[in-house]
Amino acid sequence: MTIGTVDYAASYFKYKTPTPIQGTPTNKTLKRLKQELRANASSVETDLGGGDHGYLGLVLTEQEYQAVSNDPFEAPEYPEALTIPRGTDQVRAFNLREIHKEKKRLYYECKNVENALQRHIQDAIEDKYLESLVNEDTQLITASIPDVLTYLFDSYGKVPSEEVKQKEQEIRTMSFHPADPMIILYNAIDKLKALGVAANIEYTEKQLLDIGLTVIRNTRDFEKALGDWEALRRAEKTWTKFKEHFTAAQKQLKAIRGPTMQQAGYHHAHMLAEQLKTDMARRDQELMTVIQSVVDSNTSVGTPPTMVSSDMSTFTPSQQQVNAVQTDPIQLEMMKILQQMQQSMQNMQQGTSTQTRKRPTKKTPDGATFPRRQTDTYCWTHGGSNHSSQDCKKQAPNHQVTATFENRMGGSNAYCKKAP
C-alpha cells in the first residue's frame, strides 16, 4: 500500500475545495480555514483518539483535543519490519501478519488524510505566506497541521485589543430573550474568549461568568436561578457549572410558562413603558416651553418657536426591543399601543405648530379693493375701518395711535372714502 491510494478530499471531505484567502490572511479568514479543516478531518472515521471524532486530532493541538475527548489522539508510526519467530505455528504466524498489515494500513490512512488536509491549506493560501513551511524540493508542507496553524495565527491572525473590548460590550448588551436557546449565549462568550487569545487578552473564568451573569440579569426573568447561583460556594462557580445551572433554569421556566415563554414579555414591556414615561415627560416640558414662548410673543411673531425634536416624536424601538416582541402576542399588542401613542404625539405637535404659525400684521395696501362698509373711523394700519388707530388690536410696525382721516400721518389710504 502506498501513499495516495485514496483521494480522501474527493471521497470523504465535507469541503472538497477550500474557501480561497485573497491576499494577507486575517484572523477571520484563518478561523474559517481551521473550521473547514476540522470538518474535513472529522469526516474520515477512525478508532484513533476514542473513535468519536475521526481524524480531528490531526488538526487540533493536544490541549484542544483534550477539550473534546477523554482519549488522547496519537498518530500511528510506521511499523517495524515483521519478524516471525522460528517455530511459530501457522495460525499464530497468520495473525502476526494481519496485525502488521493493519498497522501499515492505519499508518498510510492517517498519512493520506494529513496530506490531504495540508493540501487544503496550500490551496487556500497564497504560496508566499507559506514559504517557510514548504519543502523546497517537494513543495509540500512538512510541519504538522497544528504547527502550521499556530504559525499562521501568530504571523497574521492577531486581533486589536479594541476589537475584543467592542465584542465584549456587544455581548453584555446583546438581545437575549429567555426563550432563546441558551447555547447562543454560551457560544458567544466562548468565541469572545478565543478572540481574546488572538489579541493576547486572557479572559479568566471569573470574567466570563461576569459577562454571562450580566446578560442573564438583563432579561429580568431568572431571579430565582440567580439567587440559587449566588448561594453556591465560590469553588462551585465555574463556567461549566454556569452552563448546567442556567440551562436547567430555562427548562424549569419553560415548564412553568410554556415553550414560548409569553409571560417573560412583561419585563420587556416594562422597559418599553419606562422609556415611554421618560419620553412623555420630556415631551410635556417641551410643549410647555413652546406654549410659553407663544404667550410671551403675543402670538404675533412671524416664525413660531421650533418644536424641539425628542425621542418620543420619532420613537423607534431598539433592535433588542423589536426582537423581544416579534414572537410574543402580549408584547406585540404593547408595541401597537406605543405606535398609536407615537402617532398621537406627532399629530399634537403638527396641530400646535399650525395653530401658532400666524402671519405678522402688515399695513393694508392703499389699493385694496375688497368690499368694506363706508365708515368715519380711521386706523393707521388698516385705513378706513370699524376701529380707530388708538383701538387697533393688530398694529403694524411704526403704528401711529393718533392718526385720523384728517391727519393720516403716513398711514394706509385703503377704504378711505368717508361715509356721507
pLDDT score of 178 more than 50:
yes
Residue at a domain's end among 337, 356, 375: 356
Asked if the structure places residue 247 within a domain, the reply is yes
Region class of 383: left (phi > 0), else alpha (psi between -120 and 50), else beta: left
Q: Who wins on pLDDT, 335 or 30?
A: 30
Asked if the structure places residue 55 within a domain, the reply is yes
Domain count, the chain: 4
The Cβ of residue 176 has, within 10 Å, a number of other Cβ atoms equal to: 19
In this prediction, residue 312 carries a pLDDT of: 45
Q: How far is CA 318 from the centre of its chain?
A: 11
CA distance 279 to 265: 21
pLDDT level of residue 104 (50, 70, 90 thresholds): very high
The end-to-end CA distance of the chain, in Å, is 132
In this prediction, residue 416 carries a pLDDT of: 77
Residue 315: CB partners within 8 Å, gap ≥ 6? 276, 279, 338, 342
In this prediction, residue 304 carries a pLDDT of: 46
Phi, psi angle pair for 128, to nearest 5°:
-65, -20
Q: Is 349 exposed, middle or buried (0-12, 13-18, 19+ CB in 10 A)?
A: buried
Q: Is the CA virtual torsion 129, 134, 140, 143 positive or negative?
A: negative
Are 38 and 135 part of one and the same domain? yes
Q: Who wins on pLDDT, 70 or 329?
A: 70
Q: Are 309 and 290 in contact (CB under 8 A)?
A: no
Q: Are 383 and 414 in contact (CB under 8 A)?
A: yes
Asked if the structure places residue 2 within a domain, the reply is no
In this prediction, residue 316 carries a pLDDT of: 54
Q: Who wins on pLDDT, 105 or 369?
A: 105
The pTM for the full model equals 0.54
Are 146 and 13 part of one and the same domain? yes
Q: Who wins on pLDDT, 54 or 175?
A: 54
Residue at a domain's end among 332, 356, 380: 356
Asked if the structure places residue 1 within a domain, the reply is no
Asked if the structure places residue 270 within a domain, the reply is yes
pLDDT level of residue 245 (50, 70, 90 thresholds): very high
pLDDT score of 18 more than 60:
yes
Q: Read off the pLDDT of each residue in 85-101 and give the average, rounded to a whole number.
A: 93
Are 25 and 142 part of one and the same domain? yes
Q: Read off the pLDDT of each residue in 200-205 and give the average, rounded to a whole number.
A: 93
DSSP 8-state assignment for residue 379: E
pLDDT score of 268 more than 60:
no
Are 17 and 148 part of one and the same domain? yes
pLDDT score of 334 more than 70:
no
In this prediction, residue 299 carries a pLDDT of: 45
Asked if the structure places residue 314 within a domain, the reply is yes
Residue at a domain's end among 205, 234, 259: 259
Q: Are 179 and 236 in contact (CB under 8 A)?
A: no
Pick from 25, 52, 53: which is nearest to 38 by CA?
53
In this prediction, residue 328 carries a pLDDT of: 55
Q: State pLDDT tens for residues 287-300.
A: 666 556 655 554 44
In whole numbers, what is the pLDDT of the chain averaged over residues?
A: 82
Residue 269: CB partners within 8 Å, gap ≥ 6? 330, 331, 334
pLDDT score of 387 more than 80:
yes
Are 327 and 285 part of one and the same domain? yes
Q: Read off the pLDDT of each residue in 163-177 and give the average, rounded to a whole number.
A: 93
In this prediction, residue 184 carries a pLDDT of: 96
Are 43 and 75 part of one and the same domain? yes
CA distance 69 to 50: 7
Facing residues of 383 across strands? 379
Are 150 and 165 part of one and the same domain? no
Q: Read off the pLDDT of each residue in 28-45 and give the average, rounded to a whole number.
A: 96
In this prediction, residue 384 carries a pLDDT of: 86
Q: Give the best-scoring range by mean pLDDT among 1-15, 124-138, 317-331, 406-420.
A: 124-138
CA distance 231 to 50: 38
In this prediction, residue 406 carries a pLDDT of: 87
Q: State pLDDT tens for residues 277-329.
A: 666 666 667 666 655 665 555 444 444 444 444 444 454 555 555 555 555 55
Are 343 and 416 part of one and the same domain? no
SS3 for 383?
strand
Are 23 and 148 part of one and the same domain? yes
CA distance 6 to 108: 10
Are 19 and 62 part of one and the same domain? yes
Q: State pLDDT tens for residues 337-378.
A: 666 666 666 666 565 454 444 455 566 665 554 455 567 788
CA distance 6 to 385: 109
Pick from 114, 36, 29: which is nearest to 73 by CA?
114
Asked if the structure places residue 72 within a domain, the reply is yes
Asked if the structure places residue 3 within a domain, the reply is no
Are 302 and 408 part of one and the same domain? no
**Structural domain that includes position 280:** 264-356
In this prediction, residue 420 carries a pLDDT of: 43
Q: Who wins on pLDDT, 260 or 45?
A: 45
* C-alpha distance from residue 366 to each of 122, 135, 372, 418 (Å): 92, 102, 14, 15
pLDDT score of 56 more than 80:
yes
In this prediction, residue 255 carries a pLDDT of: 87
Are 128 and 166 part of one and the same domain? no
In this prediction, residue 313 carries a pLDDT of: 45
